[in-house]
């Protein structure tokens, strides 16, 4: 193994005790023979020791009181009504949001087509080659168009 690769190991796995015994021995053997790599190791070890010996600073005593106050305030806010609640469905992932939005758009489009009478006109069935029949057994003024091919060609009149 070249010095460049060895230094990568020295500065990470070796110094952090992440190597298995065989790899560790290989690095140690290289270090005993290579003064350049040894100086990299010494410098890295000093640096890491300096970082590990950073004095621990305790969290200020007021921290929990501040957290608790904010936590309670936010919980009180969450219990009260908010217009944001109306949009809770958008709290999911992107796929869920996209599905919800597309479904809403599809429903609105279908509703618009239905109201304007453009949904599934009889002419489109004729163009498609389907025979159209009317449900005459439905009482009142209601008349629905049936696509007999789709329901097996039976006559439901």
Residues that bind another protein (CB under 8 A): 8, 11-13, 16, 18, 43-44, 47-48, 50-52, 54-60, 63-64, 66-68, 70-72, 74-75
User: In this structure, are residues 40 and 46 in contact, taking their beta carbons and an 8 Å threshold?
Assistant: no
Nearer to another protein, 75 or 154 (CB): 75
CB of 39 to another protein, least distance (A): 11
CB of 118 to another protein, least distance (A): 45
Nearer to another protein, 67 or 122 (CB): 67
CB of 1 to another protein, least distance (A): 15
Beta bridge partners of 145: 134
Q: Is 140 helix (H, G, I), strand (E, B) or coil?
A: coil
Euclidean distance between CA atoms 119 and 110, whole angstroms: 7
Nearer to another protein, 67 or 98 (CB): 67
CB of 29 to another protein, least distance (A): 21
Task: For residue 147, count CB atoms less than 10 angstroms from its CB and return exposed for 0-12, middle for 13-18, buried for 19 or more.
Answer: middle
Six token digits for residue 139: 């009482």
Question: Which strand (E) or helix (H) includes residue 112?
Answer: helix 94-115
Nearer to another protein, 64 or 135 (CB): 64
User: In this structure, are residues 36 and 2 in contact, taking their beta carbons and an 8 Å threshold?
Assistant: no
């Amino acid at each position: 193994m070249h010095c460049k690769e060895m230094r990568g190991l020295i500065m990470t796995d070796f110094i952090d005790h992440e190597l298995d015994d065989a790899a560790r021995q290989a690095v140690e053997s290289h270090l005993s023979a290579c003064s350049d790599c040894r100086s990299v190791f010494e410098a890295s070890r000093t640096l890491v020791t300096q970082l590990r010996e950073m004095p621990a600073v305790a969290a200020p005593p007021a921290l929990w009181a501040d957290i608790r106050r904010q936590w309670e305030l936010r919980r009180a806010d969450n219990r009260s009504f908010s217009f944001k609640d109306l949009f809770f469905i958008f709290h999911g992932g992107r796929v869920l949001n996209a599905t919800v939005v597309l479904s809403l758009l599809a429903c609105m489009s279908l509703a618009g087509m239905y109201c304007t009478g453009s949904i599934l006109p009889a002419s489109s069935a004729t163009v498609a080659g389907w025979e159209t029949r009317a449900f005459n057994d439905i009482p009142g003024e209601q008349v629905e168009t049936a696509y007999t091919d789709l329901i097996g060609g039976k006559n439901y009149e």
